[in-house]
Structure formats: C-alpha cells, structure tokens
Amino acid sequence: MPGNVAQLFVETLKAAGVERIWGLPGDSLNAFTDALRRDGSLQWMHMRHEESAAFAAGAEAELTGRLAVVAGSCGPGNLHFINGLFDAHRSRVPVLAIASHIPLAEIGSGYFQETHPQELFRECSVYSELVSDASQLPWVLETAMRTALERRGVAVVVVPGDVFFQEAPDRRPSAPIRAASSHVVPAESELEAAAGILNAAKRVTILAGAGVAGAHAEVIALAERLKAPIVHALRGKPYIEHDNPYDVGMTGLLGFASGYRAMAKCDALLMLGTDFPYRQFFPEKASIVQVDIRGEQLGRRTPIDAGLVGDVRSTAAALLPLLTGERSDKHLKDAVKHYTRTRRELDELADNDGRRPMHPQYVARLVDEMAATDAVITADVGTPTVWAARYLRMTGRRMLLGSFVHGSMANAMPQALGAAAAAPGRQVVALAGDGGLAMLMGDLLSVTQNDLPVKIVVFNNGSLNFVELEMKAAGIVNFGTGLRNPNFADVATAVGITGIRVEHPDELEDALRRAFAVPGPALVDVVVARDELSIPPAITAAQAKGFTLWALRTVMSGRGDELLDLADVNIVRRIFG
Ligand SMILES: Cc1ncc(C[n+]2csc(CCOP(=O)(O)OP(=O)(O)O)c2C)c(N)n1
C-alpha cells in the first residue's frame, strides 16, 4: 500500500495508464514531486509556464483520448493553468489538474498565496473539489479521473501541501480507471421520425463536426444514400475530409464559399456530431435533423425538427436502412462542382509568385505538401488557423489540433509539445503566429528541456493579423496591432533549436526540407505578407461596408500605402463589388 497521500496519487495515476505529468514545482507540491521522484516511472514534463503545461496536456488528451495530467503549486502556480484548462475543457478532452494548496489550517486567513482553486476552476471543469482530509481519498481522486473521462473535460483536485504528506487510507484499489466504451443509439421511433424528414427532402446536406470521429465509413454511406454533400466544421476536418468524394469544404468564418453555399441551398440539413456555433451560417428554411451524443446540445444553435441522442457511428448505421427512395444527385453534383472551382481559386492564391514578403498561403501549402502523411499539425489562433483550415489536407492519419472552441492565442507551440510527447516518432508541426509564439515564448525552453523534436513554422507577419482583418471588416483603421519582432530563428538558435529564417519564397522549400529532416527540434521563421485578406466565405453587407469604410478611413488618416500593399486584387474587387 502507498505510504502518504502523494504516493497514493502516483499509484492511482500509474494504474490508470498515465505516463507523464506536465507542470512546474513549488513548495506546496513538494510531497507530490517527491513521490514522483521516488517512484521514477512517471515522466515529469518540466514546463516554464503552467498555461503551456495545460495546453500540452490538452493536446495529449485529444490525440490519445486518454487522461492527461497537469500539476501545479498553490496560488499563482496553479492559477496560471487557467487558460489552458479552459481550452481543454471547451474542447472536451480529459485532463486531470492536481492543484496544490496553502496549508489546510491557513485556508480562510488571507495567507500568503491564498486563492480558492476549487472555485476558480469551477467554470472550466466537470469536477472541482478540495481534499481537506486524507479520508476523502482515494474516492475524490478516482471520481475526478472518472468524471474527466466520462464527461470529457477537466477535473481539478485541490490538495493542501500538508495533506499530501498525510498517511494514505488503506482501501483495496478499484479496477484501473479508463474510459468506458459504449454504443448509444436513439430509439427506433426517433430514428424513423428523422428518416421521414430526410426521405421527404430533395436536397440534403450533411454538416459534420468532431463527433464524426471514428464514423468515417458510416457518414460516407449516409452521404451516398442521401446524395448529400458533406460540409465540415473545423473540428470535423481531421475525421471526414479525407477519402471523401462528398466533401465540399468547410463553412464558418474561416471556411470558404462552397461550404457555405451547400448549406444555404439544402432543404434538409443533417447535423452530425457538431456544435458549430455561428447561427448566421445555418440555412433559414431547411428542415434540420441533429445527431449528438449530448442531448443538451440539441437545438442550441439553430431550431431543429428532430433531435437524436446517439454516437454518430451507431446512429448513422441505424439510420441508413430507414433512408429509402431514389434521389436525384443534382444538388450533390452542383455542390461538388462549386467546391472544385472554389478549391482551384484558393489554390491559385497559394502559389509562389515571387512576391516578397511571400503569401502566407504558400507557406501553408508547402507545409501540407512536405509534412508526413501522419503528421500532427497544430495551428495558432489567428491567421495560422485560417491557412491550416484551407490548405492542410487531411489523410485519415494526420491530426489537426488548435484552440478551436476556446479560441486562445499561443496554443500551437505548447500543444505541439503535448503531441510530441504523446506520439514519439510521429512528426509534429506547429503553425505559429508571431503574436502567438511570443505570448508563451518562454516555453521554447521546454522544447529542449524535454527533448521534444517539434518543428515550428512561424507566420511572421509583424502584426496581430487576424485582428487587423477584423478591424478592416468593422471599418476601423488598424491600431495597436503592429509587432516589433525579433528574428525568431536567432531566438531559436540561442535556446538550442535549429533556427532558419526565410525572407524569400524561393528559399522556403529548402528551409522546410532542412527543418523536417533534422532529428531534433527546428524553427522556421517565415516573413509573410501582412496584408493578405482571409475573407469569410459569405461576406455580409455590413462587412462589405466595413471594408469600404476601412479603406476610406485608412486613406484619410494618411496610411493609404497600406491599401497599395493588398495582396490579392481580385479578392479586393470581390469585396468592393
Ligand atoms: C489570449 C488571447 N488574446 C487575444 C486574443 C484575440 N486575438 C485573436 S487572433 C489574435 C491575433 C493573433 O496574432 P498572431 O498570433 O500573430 O497571428 P496572426 O493572426 O497575426 O497570423 C488576437 C490578438 C485571443 N484570441 N487570445
């Protein structure tokens, strides 16, 4: 039996198959880190900022589907987790946060470093409890771990430093804690009601989200029977875009016209495992059938006509035999044709036309072409996510990670660390923004500290570019968005990472080849155009007006030269009509 509470934690985590802990030590965590040291079988992933640790753990959890763990010290130590934990929680991935606390007897006294972590983390967790006596164990720990796995989210266990040293209670252990696997199928009557709606429709479109993971064949079979184009939300991309003749691209703010159009033109929309949040992209007149494993998500984005609670794989398989009748493939053909054209237009924007600074699309395209077919690619919030969404092709073995629900900057590099630790031997590429990389740049040191061979490609546009775009769409002159950057390749070199700077597009291919070939980590700092427009798929009248206003105001404020730099004249023409 384990001796003290800290050792009980270590034993329970090991039994559950946990392999590593991401974190940063501190006085109140000493018993725990000492238990790790004595045991020696769990890897301590030493990070420089707890937020990065939480992003890394979230990526590990998303990639493996298994519980990932972070540990941080009391007060400011674990408070630093919060943004990364929010991200993991909103992405619905199982992460356990061990938050050590001030001495038990001091809670409530306004003691040095006092916070109330179980309250602070309440909003970003499925479970958050304080252990104030060893007798609560192992129940609290086990419940936390199971809740994180079964409800998919973050569980927080708060332990005062002195409680870690208490003697652990003696109880026979439960079976190791793992996610249970089950099939959830809607009742027959509900399947029939949904099939009735789909059978009556002439033009069905499928919208696929992250819930289609593991259901590729079943979703394709539905599309085939329904003659339905498949649009995906960003988190559905790695699971459904590949090997998919029904694919018509993505919708949403980062998507492109064909995805938007296939949704706008349908008379029935079948939503599969998606909580796609932007109401303005849903069709106004179509009937809507929604399938989700979480009943509470039904109808929360758009009114629906039938809501089914089930996992997509089982539900799609159960629905298929109920879909009867011949259906014209006109809608499908039309959507696919439009997609082919849109795709070609997008690809044309990603050429090397010799322009300096180069088009960021070209960088994304080359990464796509040169990265391994099973690479894990992470993308920073900001324009790297736009380029990843548009130019990375999924293969069924590639994975794309980002902060796609929480939408936090600075996610790509620490997520890459999490992926590299969880999947040794697999290529991991981070597409970083210059703002994003700088935000958690201290953890470049964690790349070498933990020997993680990540490849970081920086879209160095000298700005908080996505915000500039938002300002333009709102008719506001850019302000507060310029970045005075260092040469990031030099920074990388200084911390022991192969650093390569690329200013000319002709040098990019060689640079990426070199970076991908070196056995260790590498950073490629690519200077890209600042004024590339990543416009949404359907630009509203208000946005068009916004762009016009921005143009006028920019000229009037004496910064009209910005306009002359606009990269793609055709796009501008399209915006201004
Ligand atoms: C933590 C955080 N702060 C601010 C924002 C608002 N925001 C969204 S994208 C963005 C710009 C990102 O800049 P960068 O990483 O350089 O990428 P770029 O868009 O320039 O390619 C900002 C400030 C955010 N999403 N998250």
For the residues 287-297, what does the mean pLDDT come to? 98
Beta carbons of 277 and 301 less than 8 angstroms apart: yes
- When pLDDT is cut at 50, 70 and 90, the band that residue 563 belongs to is very low
Closest CA to 289 of 202, 232, 204, 211: 204
Q: Is the pLDDT of residue 290 over 80?
A: yes
Q: What is the pLDDT of residue 298?
A: 98
Q: What is the pLDDT of residue 252?
A: 85
Percent with pLDDT over 90 in the chain:
89
Tokens 């519980």 appear where? 67
Which is the catalytic residue, given 112, 119, 280, 369? 112
Name residue 130's beta-bridge partners.
Answer: 158
Which is the catalytic residue, given 19, 106, 113, 509? 113
Q: What are phi and psi of 211, to 5 degrees?
A: -65, -10
Tell the residue nearest (CA) to atom 25 of ligand 1: 408
* Residue 543 structure tokens: 């946005």
Pocket test for ligand 1, best of 55, 409, 415 (most atoms within 8 A of CB): 409
For the residues 102-122, what does the mean pLDDT come to? 98
Name residue 98's beta-bridge partners.
Answer: 71, 157
* Distance from the alpha carbon of residue 537 to the mean position of ligand 1, in angstroms: 20
* Distance from the alpha carbon of residue 83 to the mean position of ligand 1, in angstroms: 14
- Please say if 381 is a catalytic residue: yes
Tell the residue nearest (CA) to atom 13 of ligand 1: 464
What is the chain's alpha carbon radius of gyration, rounded to the nearest angstrom? 25
In 3-state terms, what secondary structure has residue 44?
strand
Pocket test for ligand 1, best of 458, 464, 484 (most atoms within 8 A of CB): 464
* Distance from the alpha carbon of residue 409 to the mean position of ligand 1, in angstroms: 5
Beta carbons of 488 and 458 less than 8 angstroms apart: yes
- Please say if 276 is a catalytic residue: no
Q: What is the pLDDT of residue 577?
A: 28
In 3-state terms, what secondary structure has residue 24?
strand
State the closest ligand 1 atom to the C-alpha of 434, by its place in the atom list counted from 1. Answer: 16
With a Cβ cut-off of 6 Å, ligand 1 is lined by 380-384, 407-409, 433-436, 459, 461, 463-467
State the closest ligand 1 atom to the C-alpha of 466, by its place in the atom list counted from 1. Answer: 19
Tell the residue nearest (CA) to atom 8 of ligand 1: 382
Tell the residue nearest (CA) to atom 16 of ligand 1: 435
Q: What is the pLDDT of residue 532?
A: 82
Q: Report pTM.
A: 0.94
State the closest ligand 1 atom to the C-alpha of 433, by its place in the atom list counted from 1. Answer: 15
Which is the catalytic residue, given 381, 386, 458, 502? 381
Q: What is the pLDDT of residue 557?
A: 60
State the closest ligand 1 atom to the C-alpha of 407, by its place in the atom list counted from 1. Answer: 25
Secondary structure element (H or E) that encloses residue 214, with its range? none
For the residues 352-359, what does the mean pLDDT come to? 95
Q: How far lies 352's CA from each of 338, 360, 366, in Å?
A: 25, 10, 10
* Distance from the alpha carbon of residue 465 to the mean position of ligand 1, in angstroms: 7
For the residues 379-385, what does the mean pLDDT come to? 97
- When pLDDT is cut at 50, 70 and 90, the band that residue 566 belongs to is very low
- When pLDDT is cut at 50, 70 and 90, the band that residue 544 belongs to is low
* Residue 407 structure tokens: 């939408």
Tell the residue nearest (CA) to atom 4 of ligand 1: 409
Tell the residue nearest (CA) to atom 9 of ligand 1: 382
Q: Is the pLDDT of residue 93 over 80?
A: yes
* Distance from the alpha carbon of residue 206 to the mean position of ligand 1, in angstroms: 31
For the residues 301-306, what does the mean pLDDT come to? 98
Closest CA to 306 of 197, 388, 430: 197
Closest CA to 93 of 55, 123, 45: 55
Residue type, 82: I
Question: What is the 8-class DSSP label of residue 210?
Answer: G
State the closest ligand 1 atom to the C-alpha of 432, by its place in the atom list counted from 1. Answer: 15
* Residue 479 structure tokens: 């302000």
For the residues 356-377, what does the mean pLDDT come to? 98
Beta carbons of 190 and 184 less than 8 angstroms apart: no
Residue type, 284: E
Q: How many CB atoms lie within 10 A of CB 364?
A: 26
Closest CA to 81 of 54, 42, 46: 54
The gap from C-alpha 31 to its chain's centroid, in whole angstroms, comes to 33
Beta carbons of 196 and 166 less than 8 angstroms apart: no
Separation of alpha carbons 446 and 442, rounded Å:
8
Tell the residue nearest (CA) to atom 3 of ligand 1: 409
In 3-state terms, what secondary structure has residue 96?
strand
Q: What is the pLDDT of residue 543?
A: 62
* Residue 386 structure tokens: 């736009």
Q: What is the pLDDT of residue 253?
A: 80
DSSP per-residue string spanning 138-162:
THHHHHHHHHHHHTTSEEEEEEEHH
Q: What are phi and psi of 353, to 5 degrees?
A: -100, 15
pLDDT in tens, 320-338: 999 998 899 999 999 999 9
* Distance from the alpha carbon of residue 526 to the mean position of ligand 1, in angstroms: 17
| Helical ranges in 298-382 per DSSP H | 312-319, 330-348, 360-370
Q: What is the pLDDT of residue 354?
A: 93
Beta carbons of 342 and 256 less than 8 angstroms apart: yes
Closest CA to 544 of 513, 575, 507: 575
Q: What is the pLDDT of residue 59?
A: 99
DSSP per-residue string spanning 254-291:
TS-HHHHHHHHT-SEEEEES-----GGGS-SSSEEEEE
Residue type, 152: R
State the closest ligand 1 atom to the C-alpha of 408, by its place in the atom list counted from 1. Answer: 26
Which of 200-209, 474-483, 525-534 has maximum average pLDDT? 200-209
Secondary structure element (H or E) that encloses residue 377, with its range? strand 376-379
* Distance from the alpha carbon of residue 260 to the mean position of ligand 1, in angstroms: 25
- When pLDDT is cut at 50, 70 and 90, the band that residue 450 belongs to is very high
* Distance from the alpha carbon of residue 413 to the mean position of ligand 1, in angstroms: 14
Separation of alpha carbons 457 and 364, rounded Å:
9
Q: Is the pLDDT of residue 89 over 90?
A: yes
Separation of alpha carbons 54 and 68, rounded Å:
9
Q: What is the pLDDT of residue 417?
A: 99
In the predicted model, what is the mean pLDDT of the chain?
93
* Distance from the alpha carbon of residue 464 to the mean position of ligand 1, in angstroms: 6
Tell the residue nearest (CA) to atom 11 of ligand 1: 464
Beta carbons of 285 and 192 less than 8 angstroms apart: no
Which is the catalytic residue, given 32, 86, 466, 547? 466
- Please say if 466 is a catalytic residue: yes
For the residues 340-355, what does the mean pLDDT come to? 93
Separation of alpha carbons 458 and 86, rounded Å:
25
Q: What is the pLDDT of residue 374?
A: 98
pLDDT in tens, 459-511: 999 999 999 999 988 899 999 999 999 999 999 999 999 999 999 999 999 99
* Distance from the alpha carbon of residue 575 to the mean position of ligand 1, in angstroms: 23
Q: How many CB atoms lie within 10 A of CB 407?
A: 14
DSSP per-residue string spanning 466-531:
HHHHHHHHTT----S-B-----HHHHHHHTTSEEEEE-SGGGHHHHHHHHHHSSS-EEEEEEB-S-
Residue type, 15: A
For the residues 97-126, what does the mean pLDDT come to? 98
* Distance from the alpha carbon of residue 457 to the mean position of ligand 1, in angstroms: 16
pLDDT in tens, 425-449: 999 999 999 999 999 999 999 999 9
Name residue 482's beta-bridge partners.
Answer: 463
Pocket test for ligand 1, best of 411, 457, 466, 478 (most atoms within 8 A of CB): 466
Beta carbons of 95 and 68 less than 8 angstroms apart: yes
Across 219-228, 413-422, 450-459, 468-477, least confident range = 468-477
* Distance from the alpha carbon of residue 458 to the mean position of ligand 1, in angstroms: 13
- Please say if 479 is a catalytic residue: no
For the residues 511-515, what does the mean pLDDT come to? 98
State the closest ligand 1 atom to the C-alpha of 469, by its place in the atom list counted from 1. Answer: 19
Which is the catalytic residue, given 10, 32, 50, 447? 50
Tokens 């933990």 appear where? 450
Name residue 291's beta-bridge partners.
Answer: 272, 308
Beta carbons of 456 and 437 less than 8 angstroms apart: yes
Pocket test for ligand 1, best of 467, 472, 530 (most atoms within 8 A of CB): 467
3-class secondary structure per residue, 46-90: ECCCHHHHHHHHHHHHHHHCCCEEEEECCCHHHHCCHHHHHHHHH
Q: What is the pLDDT of residue 507?
A: 98
State the closest ligand 1 atom to the C-alpha of 436, by its place in the atom list counted from 1. Answer: 15
Name residue 506's beta-bridge partners.
Answer: none
State the closest ligand 1 atom to the C-alpha of 483, by its place in the atom list counted from 1. Answer: 16
pLDDT in tens, 516-528: 999 999 999 999 9
